[in-house]
Amino acid sequence: MLSEQVQAKIEHELKKYPADQKQSAVMAALRFVQDEKGWISSDDMADVAIYLGMPKMAVYEVATFYHMYKLQPMGQHTLTVCTNLSCQLMGSNETLDYIKSKLGIGLNEVTADGKFGLREAECMGACIDAPLMTVNNRRLCARLTPEKIDRILTKLSAGGELASGEENVR
C-alpha cells in the first residue's frame, strides 16, 4: 500500500494532467516512493500501477529505464560517482578508489551500517567541475579531492545534511 503522504503527493501531481492520462504521473509517483523508502520494490511498483490504473509491466519499464530509480536498498546516503570521460581525465578513478577504501565497499554495495551506498553514473553535465558525484541524487559535489570527500563523509556520518550548493564550489 502506498502511504497517505505519497498518495497525497501523487494526487497533487495528477492535477497537472488530463483525468484520462493518469499514467503521466508515473515518474513523479516513483520518485515519491523512493524519497520515502529509499528505494523502489516491485511491490511498490505494483501499488503505483494500481493507483494510476496502468499495467504493472509499464511501471516496471519506467522504473528500470532510469538510472536514478534505485531498485534495491542503497543505504541512507547514496553516493553516485561519475565515471565518464571528462571526470575520468580529472581523476574520477582515484576518487572512486578513495571512496571505496574509505567506506570499505565496492560499487553497488552498501556499508554494513546501512549508511552509505556507492554507485557510478554517466555524465552529470557539469564537466567543468569534474570529478563529480551526487549525494542522494539531490546534491552535486564538485572538484572532488580526498579532503573534500572526508569532509562530506564526516558530515553525513554525523547525521548532517548537505545544504544546497555546499561542496559544489570551485
Partner 1 sequence: MINIEIDGRKVEVENGLTVMDAAHHVGLHIPHFCYHKKLSIAASCRMCLVQVEKAPKPLPACATPVVEGMRIHTNSDYAVTAQKSVMEFLLINHPLDCPICDQGGECELQDVAMGYGGMTSRFNEAKHVVAGKPMGALISAEEMSRCIHCTRCVRFGQEIAGVMEIGMAFRGEHSAIMTFVQNTVDSELSGNMIDLCPVGALTSKPFRYKARSWELSRRRSVSPHDGLCSNLAIHTKADRVVRVLPLENEAINECWISDRDRFSYEGLNAADRLTRPMLKQGGEWVEVEWQTALEYVANALRQVKTSAGAEQIGALATGGSTLEEQYLLQKLLRGLGSDNVDFRLRQSDFSADGKQAGAPWLGMAVADLDRADRFLVVGSFLRKDHPLLAARVRQAVKKGAQFNLLHAAADDLLLKVANRAIVAPSEFGNMLAQVLAALTESKQAALSDDVKAVVARATLEGIGNDARAIAASLAGGERVAVLLGNFAQQHPQAAQLQRLAQEVAALTGAKFGFLGEAANSVGAYLANAVPGANGLNAAAMLAQPRKAYILLNVEAELDCANPQQALAALGAADLVVALSSYKHGATEYADVLLPITPFTETSGTYVNTEGRAQSFKGAVKPLGESRPAWKVLRVLGNLLEQEGFGYENSESVRDEVLAGDLAERLNNRLSGLTVSAAATSAGLQRVADVPIYSTDSIVRRANSLQKTHDAATPMVSLNGAELAKLGLKSGDAVTVSQGQGRATLIAQCDDGLPQGVARVAAGHAATAALGAMFGTITVERA
Interface with partner 1 (CB under 8 A): 42, 45-46, 55-58, 60-61, 64-66
CB of 30 to partner 1, least distance (A): 14
Residue pair 156/162 in contact (Cβ under 8 Å)? The answer is yes
- Write down how long the chain is: 170
Q: Are 9 and 34 in contact (CB under 8 A)?
A: no
| C-beta of 57 vs 158, nearer to partner 1 | 57
Task: Give all strands (DSSP E) within the chain, no chain letters.
Answer: 77-82, 109-110, 116-121, 133-135, 139-141
Residue 98 Cβ, how far from partner 1 at the closest point, in Å? Answer: 28
Q: How far is the CB of 32 from partner 1 (least distance, A)?
A: 20
Return the number of the residue (58 or 127) whose C-beta is nearest partner 1. 58
